């Protein structure tokens, strides 16, 4: 499935006001989300598998790719469209060997060196983070900022998605600076009206893409 990175939703059940991932995702899709990453840091393998399977069915019906955060075993088990890995996760070459050539692999990067290495290693897209410091990733206390996007954009050819306190107020500027899309957690999942929140961000991304 070809990926559109314009509005990339990352789940976080702790922020979703008691709503299920399924309910959050469904409402977000109605607002124009183009790709979903299921991130579950605390679920056991069986629970994660069951959750991923339900979401896979929903997304398949809507022709939206499902990316699994970190867990290559879960991605394989539910036949997800791909995985997203960080610098401390399984090496990219090994992930590609396990998943094969057709799955999407995204890699988190912070520097030009990491971006170039991920592209050279066969990543399909980069998750540039954090654009701004965010409470969802308190361990990251340095930020790239809008001004840090362009040099990385110039260094690589593959798509770049920005994550880290991204919302409707900064999406336009960030995409204009060179991002292919915006990855969002709390600006969608923590909002009372998820569909409207997603729609507002998507409108800014599309406006920037002109």
Q: Return the active site residues.
A: 39, 108, 137
User: Is-contact 161 145, C-beta < 8 A?
Assistant: no
69: which DSSP letter?
Answer: E
Q: Which residue has the tokens 């070809």?
A: 2
Say how many C-beta atoms besides its own lie within 10 A of residue 110's C-beta.
18
| Radius of gyration over every alpha carbon of the chain, rounded to an integer in angstroms | 16
User: Is-contact 67 96, C-beta < 8 A?
Assistant: no
Cα separation, 170 vs 18, whole angstroms: 27
User: Is-contact 12 189, C-beta < 8 A?
Assistant: yes
DSSP helix/strand/coil, 173 = helix
140: which DSSP letter?
Answer: -
């Amino acid at each position: 499935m070809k990926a559109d990175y314009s509005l990339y939703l990352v789940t976080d059940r702790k922020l979703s006001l008691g709503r299920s991932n399924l309910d959050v995702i469904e409402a977000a899709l109605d607002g124009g989300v183009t790709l979903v990453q299921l991130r579950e840091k605390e679920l056991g393998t069986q629970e994660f598998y069951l959750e991923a399977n339900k979401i896979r069915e929903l997304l398949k019906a809507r022709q939206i790719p499902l990316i699994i955060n970190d867990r290559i075993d879960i991605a394989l088990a539910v036949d997800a469209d791909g995985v997203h890995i960080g610098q401390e996760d399984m090496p990219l070459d090994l992930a590609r060997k396990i998943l094969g050539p057709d799955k999407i692999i995204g890699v988190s990067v912070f520097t030009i060196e990491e971006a170039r290495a991920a592209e050279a290693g066969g990543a399909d897209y980069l998750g540039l983070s954090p654009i701004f410091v965010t409470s969802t990733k308190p361990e990251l206390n340095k930020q790239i900022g809008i001004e840090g996007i362009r040099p990385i954009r110039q260094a690589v050819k593959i798509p770049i998605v920005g994550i880290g306190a991204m919302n409707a107020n900064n999406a336009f500027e960030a995409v204009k600076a060179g991002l292919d899309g915006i990855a969002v957690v709390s600006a969608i999942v923590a909002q009372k009206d998820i569909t409207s929140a997603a729609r507002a961000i998507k409108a800014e991304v599309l406006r920037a893409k002109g």
